[in-house]
Structure formats: structure tokens, C-alpha cells
Amino acid sequence: MATLSTPQNQAGVLSFYDAPEKGPLMGPKALLVAVAIFAILIVVLDHFITASL
């Protein structure tokens, strides 16, 4: 039976994804709250825009 192996030229891909990021860090709860607030804001703005037409 043949076994799968990773080619040597792609061995650094995992270290690329494990590299620490310098961007802002958000927890999953904070991200969900931010997305919910953004979605509510879009719905409210859409309501006011369509009501004024």
C-alpha cells in the first residue's frame, strides 16, 4: 500500500501558518458581538434609507 508523504519544498508551509501575527487580537466572543452589532447597524440603516424613499 502506498503512503502519502509531504514533498520537501512544501515543508515550510506549516511554519508560515504558525507564525505570530502582529495585528489586533480578538477573542471569539468579541468577534461575534462585533459582527452582530455590524449586522444590526446595517439593518437599521437600511430601514431608514428605504423609509425615506
Say whether pTM exceeds 0.85.
no
What are the tens digits of pLDDT across the range 11-24?
555 555 555 677 77
Containing 31, the helix (H) or strand (E) segment is: helix 28-52
Residue 21 DSSP symbol: P
CA separation for the pair 32, 26 (Å, rounded): 10
What are the tens digits of pLDDT across the range 16-48?
555 567 777 889 999 999 999 999 999 999 999
pLDDT band at 2 (very low <50, low <70, confident <90, very high): low
Q: Quote the pLDDT of residue 52.
A: 76
CB 34 within 8 A of CB 26: yes
**How far, in Å, are 7, 26, 30, 39, 50 from residue 4 at the CA level?**
10, 36, 40, 44, 57
